[in-house]
Structure 1
Amino acid sequence: MPTSLLGDLFGRSPFQPMQRHMELVRSCVAHVVPLFAAVAAGDGATVAAERAQIDDLEHQADMIKNALRAHLPKGFFLPVARRDLLEILDFQDNIADTAQDLAELVAERRMVLPAPMAEPMLALVKSGQQACDAAAAVIAELDELLEMGFRGREASRVETMVDKLADQEEESDRLEMEVNRILFALEGELDPVTVIFWYRMIELAGDLADYSKKVGSRLRLFLAT
């Protein structure tokens, strides 16, 4: 990678590419809600278009992820370990990968969303998006935290943000259980393969919030050390 591009990637701190990566992840997840709205409406063209957007954004995020993994200098003086930053990066990457997996499943299998599941399934993916937004907001605070040495009022504010992120993940868990109960009641009306794939998609939709929470939980450890 050219030196100028490395400089552009890292800017003032190694947190900048982490933040740029998370913003792309956030944009990727933002397309999951309209994706499932299109599935509910039986709009195959919009499903394909949303999938293409998700694929493109996930690819852009992967480019930053790979560059960061390969070139994050070991000489940066930071109050956190390099491996810890890369662990957060992996969680961020998992969020985008999950969005892409959802898009691939619904598009390739041309899934039809049963009417009784439509509203709660949309609520679940919206909750996952809200959790991702909350995780992105936490990551956006990394530079401020660095300036304050991961202490003080800014650290307390971020801890509150992480608590709210955890609450959002709990709401996603509740919604995931609700959709699972509805699908269980519908099993006799659907073919077994469709049932299996819907259970998988419900799990993936819940993973959006789970991985988002892990981003916040890992950052909380920075504040505790």
Structure 2
Amino acid sequence: MQVWTKLFAKSPFKPLIKHSEVVLETVETLEKALNAWYNGNYNEVRDLAVEVDRLEDIADRIKEEIRDSLSSKLMMAVSREDVLIYLHMQDKVADSAEDTAKWLLVREPEGIPTDIKDVILRMGSESIKAAKLVHRAIVQMDRVIESGFAEKEIEEEYGIIRAIEGVEKAIDELDTELMRLVFENADKFDWSTGFYVLNIARTLSNISDKAKDAAERIRLMMNK
């Protein structure tokens, strides 16, 4: 606990960066799992899904340690409440990655049309891009604080936030395309396959949704 307190004394974002590094590793492992799923390497999917679960658990433990260490007596450039809200949103990115990994394990992807698998892979790529951008955003926010809110550093942060919002728009378009493909191919597979596919898409969308929420919290912190 003392370690986190010392980090907070340096910057309110140093502990968040430590947590974000684990969240980033979680989504990068999910990215490998998605590629293995797409290529039909189901044994590899299982191994990677177990690793996603392990990393998400580490992220949870770090989150709780940070919460326990974040005393109201600490003097910070941003509010304790904002830090805690951001931490919660950042952790939800890892939670969503774990949810996706669980759905990948439900069944092997045999019988799913290639065009549907292509869209899911693209959704995964975009969602994971959003998660990676959030990591960049929290690192950049630390630079903003250390610079005394220098205009150059603030503009760099806003650029990252805009990029995250752009990814969210791309995900929405892919989600619509996927739903169309599922209904167009309804006669080629049973309802459980459609349900399976749409739930993978839902959990992937949640990754980018939580990334966008985290980015919006950073924007609010800068505006204060």
Do the structures match in fold with TM over 0.5?
A: yes
Question: Which stretch of the first structure deviates more once superposed, 192-201 or 85-94?
Answer: 192-201
Does residue 223 of the first structure (1) align with residue 222 of the second (2)? yes
Q: CA deviation at 1:7?
A: 4.8
Q: Which runs of 5+ in 1 are unaligned?
A: none
Q: Which structure 2 segments of 5+ residues have no match?
A: none
Q: Who is 1:158 aligned against?
A: 157
The answer as to whether partners of 1:180 and 1:202 remain within 8 angstroms in 2 is: no
Alignment partner of 2:71: what SS? Answer: coil
- The Cα of 1:167 is off from its aligned counterpart by 0.9
> What SS does the aligned partner of 1:57 have?
helix
Q: Quote the residue 2:176 is aligned against.
A: 177
Equivalent residue, structure 2, for 1:137: 136
Once the two structures are superposed, what CA deviation does each residue of 1:5-34 show, in whole Å capped at 9, x if it has no partner? 445664723311101111111111112222
TM alignment of 1:70-81, pairs within 5 A: 70-81=68-79
Contact 1:27/1:57 (8 A) holds in 2 = yes
Q: TM-score, normalised to structure 2's length?
A: 0.91
Structure 2 equivalent of residue 57 of structure 1: 55
Displacement of 1:36: 1.8
Q: Could you tell me how far apart the structure 1 residues matched to 2:179 and 2:206 are?
A: 14
The separation in 2 between residues aligned to 1:102 and 1:70, in whole angstroms, is 29
Alignment of 1:20-35 (within 5 A): 20-35=18-33
* One-letter amino acid of the structure 1 residue matched with residue 100 of structure 2: L
Matched to 2:123, the amino acid is L
Contact 1:14–1:72 (CA under 8 A) maintained in structure 2: no
After TM superposition, the runs of 4+ consecutive aligned structure 1 residues lying more than 6 A away are: none
**Residue 194 in structure 1 maps to residue 193 in structure 2:** yes
Conserved 8 A contact 1:144-1:154: yes
Q: TM-score, normalised by structure 1?
A: 0.91
**Counterparts of 1:189 and 1:151 in 2: how far apart (Å)?**
57
RMSD: 1.8
One-letter code aligned to 1:197: Y
Decide which moves more: 50-59 or 183-192: 183-192
Name the count of aligned residue pairs.
223
